[in-house]
């Protein structure tokens, strides 16, 4: 056999082994995605805790005011370092995955910056829902389009996940396809950081601390969900809400004084069923508008108003 044939055979075998590498399961990808999404709430809780400890500090006040932008900066630095050393995001590296192409900038745009934009759009939509004063055409269009756009994007993401689960596509999400990368298993689990490099050793220590901290993040998330649900259950089962007060507490009124206008009754008029006496004009206008007795909240009609002569 000639050397060229041997070389072609080796290339064919290596390419076949490379293409036959098993892809991660959809459950592993869902788990790493959820773990990556927990980083931002964890950093937000840390900032909230620091702000509650030192609320008068100008530094913590500014950081808490622009917490989303500060978290974006911290998360971008962490994910950039992981992409540089491990070719994977922190959640992907935790589950033993890596990206086939080291497109760090595109990976950051679709994995870090786009979720930040989505967070801001959600906040804008919530503010628009609470602000009912501004109802121009642009406001109305944005208010109606934002939920539909988000539903469409979520639907596309789930179509990718279903297609990946059934082997129709090699991309788990549209963000991975736009970034031009795929997720595979790490062939060599040993770190690529040289032990003699000071910055490499420092990042290796930080990486180990963060990897251990991810267990803590998952535990805290589980504990908050479990504790919150148990508290809600205990509140729903043990505490009994007070009965509504049918007769509102009112300040004392003088004799022959109308409870509505606080003046001597002009054409005294009693409400049949409650016995309270008002001015005829006051109680007539009130019943016409609210259809109830102002003292007892009982349903009243104008026919139940009795003038006292």
pLDDT in tens, 234-250: 444 444 445 445 444 55
Ranked by mean pLDDT, the top range of 42-51, 91-100, 212-221 is 91-100
43 and 177: one domain?
yes
| 12 phi-psi bin (left φ>0, alpha ψ -120 to 50, beta other) | alpha
Query: Rounded mean pLDDT of 268-293?
Result: 84
As a whole number of angstroms, the distance between CA 39 and CA 117 comes to 16
Q: How confident is the model at residue 16 (pLDDT cuts 50, 70, 90)?
A: very low
Residue 255 resides in a domain:
no
Do 139 and 285 have their domain in common?
no
Q: Do residues 218 and 38 lie in contact, with contact meaning Cβ atoms separated by under 8 Å?
A: yes
Q: What is the pLDDT of residue 305?
A: 84
User: Following DSSP, what letter does each residue of the chain receive, concatenated?
Assistant: --HHHHHHHHHHHHHHHHHTPPPPPHHHHHHHHHHHHTHHHHHHHHHHHHHHH-TT-HHHHHHHHTHHHHHHHHHHHHHHHHHHHHSS-HHHHHTTEEESS--HHHHHIIIIIHHHHHHHHHHHHHHHHH--S---HHHHHHHHHHHHHHHHHHHHHHHHHHHHHTTS-S-SSHHHHHHT--EEE-S--S--S-TT-HHHHHHHHHHHHHHHHHHHHHHHHHHHHHHHHHHHHHHHHH--PPPPPSS-------TTB-TTT-SB-SSEEEETTT--EEEHHHHHHHHHHH-B-TTT--B--GGGEEE--
Residue 274 and residue 173 share a domain: no
What is the pLDDT, as a whole number, of residue 204?
62
Q: pLDDT above 70 covers what percent of the chain?
A: 67
Q: Both 152 and 37 in a single domain?
A: yes
Q: Are residues 273 and 179 in the same domain?
A: no
Instruction: Give the tens place of pLDDT for each residue, 75-115.
Output: 889 889 888 888 888 888 888 888 888 788 888 888 889 88
For residues 73 and 174, state if they share a domain: yes
pLDDT at 257: 81
pLDDT of residue 54: 76
What is the residue range of 300's domain? 268-307
- The pLDDT, as a whole number, for residue 159 is 92
Does some domain include residue 296? yes
279 in Cβ contact with 287 (< 8 Å): no
- Predicted confidence (pLDDT) at residue 135 exceeds the cutoff of 80: no
Specify if 261 maps to a domain: no
Q: Is 192 among the domain residues?
A: no
pLDDT at 10 over 50: no
Question: Residue 309's pLDDT band (boundaries 50, 70, 90)?
Answer: low
Q: Is residue 273 domain-shared with residue 183, that is, in the same domain?
A: no
Note whether 111 and 89 are within 8 A (CB).
Answer: yes
Confirm whether 5 is domain-assigned: no
Q: Answer yes or no: is pLDDT of 73 > 50.
A: yes
The answer to whether position 213 is within a domain reads no
My answer on whether 176 and 298 are in the same domain is no
- Shared domain for 143 and 35, answered yes or no, is yes
Residue predicted with more confidence, 9 or 171: 171
Flag whether 219 is in a domain.
no
How many domains does the chain divide into? Answer: 2
Other Cβ atoms closer than 10 A to 186: 15
Judge whether residue 198 has pLDDT over 60.
Answer: yes
Average pLDDT over residues 204-222: 61
Residues 144 and 274 in one domain: no
Q: What is the mean pLDDT of the chain?
A: 74
The pTM (predicted TM-score) of the whole model is 0.56
Does 151 share its domain with 290? no
Cβ atoms of 121 and 146 within 8 Å: the answer is: yes
Q: 250 lies in a domain?
A: no
Q: Is pLDDT larger for residue 83 or for residue 38?
A: 83
Pair 280, 305: CB distance under 8 Å:
yes
Between 99 and 192, the higher pLDDT residue: 99
């Amino acid at each position: 056999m000639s050397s060229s044939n041997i070389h072609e055979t080796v290339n064919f075998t290596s390419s076949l082994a490379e293409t036959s590498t098993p892809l991660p399961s959809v459950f592993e990808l869902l788990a790493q995605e959820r773990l990556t999404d927990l980083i931002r709430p964890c950093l937000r809780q840390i900032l909230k805790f620091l702000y509650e400890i030192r609320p008068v500090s100008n530094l913590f006040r500014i950081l808490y005011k622009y917490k989303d932008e500060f978290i974006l900066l911290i998360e971008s630095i962490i994910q950039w370092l992981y992409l540089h050393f491990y070719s994977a995001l922190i959640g992907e590296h935790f589950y033993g995955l890596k990206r086939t192409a080291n497109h760090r900038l595109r990976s950051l745009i679709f994995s870090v910056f786009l979720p930040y934009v989505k967070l801001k759009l959600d906040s804008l939509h919530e503010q628009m829902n609470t602000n009912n004063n501004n109802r121009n055409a642009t406001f109305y269009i944005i208010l109606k389009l934002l939920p539909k756009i988000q539903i469409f994007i979520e639907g596309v993401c789930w179509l990718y996940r279903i297609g990946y689960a059934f082997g129709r596509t090699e991309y788990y999400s549209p963000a991975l396809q736009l970034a031009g990368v795929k997720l595979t298993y790490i062939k060599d689990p040993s770190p690529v950081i040289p032990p003699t490099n000071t910055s490499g050793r420092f990042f290796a220590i930080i990486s180990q601390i963060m990897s251990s901290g991810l267990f803590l993040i998952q535990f805290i998330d589980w504990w908050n969900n479990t504790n919150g649900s148990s508290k809600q259950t205990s509140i729903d089962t043990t505490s009994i809400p007070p009965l509504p007060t049918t007769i509102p507490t009112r300040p004392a009124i003088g004799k022959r004084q109308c409870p509505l206008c606080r003046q001597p009754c002009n054409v005294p008029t009693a409400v049949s069923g409650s016995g309270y006496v008002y001015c005829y004009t006051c109680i007539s206008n009130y019943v016409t508008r609210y259809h109830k007795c102002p003292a007892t909240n009982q349903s009243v009609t104008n026919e139940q108003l009795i003038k006292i002569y």
